[in-house]
Amino acid sequence: MARQKGIIKLKGTIGDITFYKTQDGHLAREKGGIDASRIKNDPAFQRTRENGSEFGRAGKAGKTLRTALRVLLLNSADGRVVSRLTQAMVKVIQADTISERGLRNVIDGEAKLLAGFEFNIRGKLGTSLFAPYVGIIDRVSGDISVDLDSFIPVNMIAAPGGTTHFKIISAGAEIDFEAETFVSTNSETAILPWDMTATAAISHVNPVTPNSTKPLFLALGVEFYQQVNGQMYPLKNGSYNPLALVSVSGL
């Protein structure tokens, strides 16, 4: 892979060179590779087929989780969250010590490895929200909750420049990765001023299926706003809104 330089940027294929645009700029690469039918049938590529199968499974699992949290992710995801989450899911699948290679999956893996995953690397929860919180996943009742004691916003939230207000958001999700289905609920506070006035205690309860046998997830985030002439606007279109998985209950 090579980076294109110069004033004129090319797109398409010339000879054996393909020119294309990515988030990293205009790039170029040489055409080539191994014939697909050989990869599919040649015994020498058994490991490649196994890796491809598990990578595909990781991609589907990541998509299901993102869809379950879509309401929150609309304003809290970076442009590479798909690939980053797929990579995280691969690690979950590789932790499966029961299934054969190529058949490893999220259910038999370690879903807890996803705890701490940040959906927006431009604004991480770990460097934005310093107010202590307690996240609880109660499998018996199905309640996925998070509680924050009263705090002073300007002291406990590191907000981007231009912020005048904020909102605390959360979601609980129950994911069936095999069926690619989910149950999810979400909560949010009112839009609160980012100032020296202490907030009230915050308590969110996001119920899913009681006595679930599926992996359960708690996501927590912050949305930033700017008030202009009495109207609230998402700060920089939500580019710096943090959202993270703060608690995960696998099986």
- How many Å apart are CA 157 and CA 173, to the nearest integer? 25
**Per-residue pLDDT at 31 exceeds 80:** no
Cα angle 21-27-29, degrees, rounded to a multiple of 5: 120
Residue 137, pLDDT > 60, answer: yes
pLDDT above 70 for 49: no
Distance of CA 188 to the CA centre of its chain: 18
> Does the model's pTM come out above 0.75?
yes
- Indicate if the pLDDT at residue 172 is higher than 80: yes
Per-residue pLDDT at 39:
44
Exposure letters 135-171 (e unless 16+ CB within 10 A, then b): bebebeebbbbbebeebebeeebebeeebbbbbbbbb
The larger pLDDT score, comparing residue 11 to residue 123, is at 123
pLDDT tens per residue across span 173-189: 999 998 999 999 999 99
**Is it the case that residue 63 has pLDDT exceeding 90?**
yes
Residue by residue, DSSP assigns 199-214 as PPPEEEEEE--TT--S
Average pLDDT score over residue span 44-66:
76
Strand ranges inside the chain, DSSP E: 2-3, 12-14, 17-22, 25-30, 133-137, 143-148, 165-176, 181-188, 192-193, 202-207, 216-228, 231-234, 243-249
Question: What pLDDT is stored for residue 238 in this prediction?
Answer: 86
pLDDT tens track for 175-228? 999 899 999 999 999 999 999 999 999 999 999 999 999 999 999 999 999 999
Instruction: Give the integer Cα–Cα distance in Å for 204 and 157.
Output: 18
CB crowding 236-250: b at 16 or more within 10 Å, else e = bebebbbbbbbbbbb
What's residue 45's pLDDT?
47
Burial of 6 (0-12, 13-18, 19+ CB in 10 A): exposed
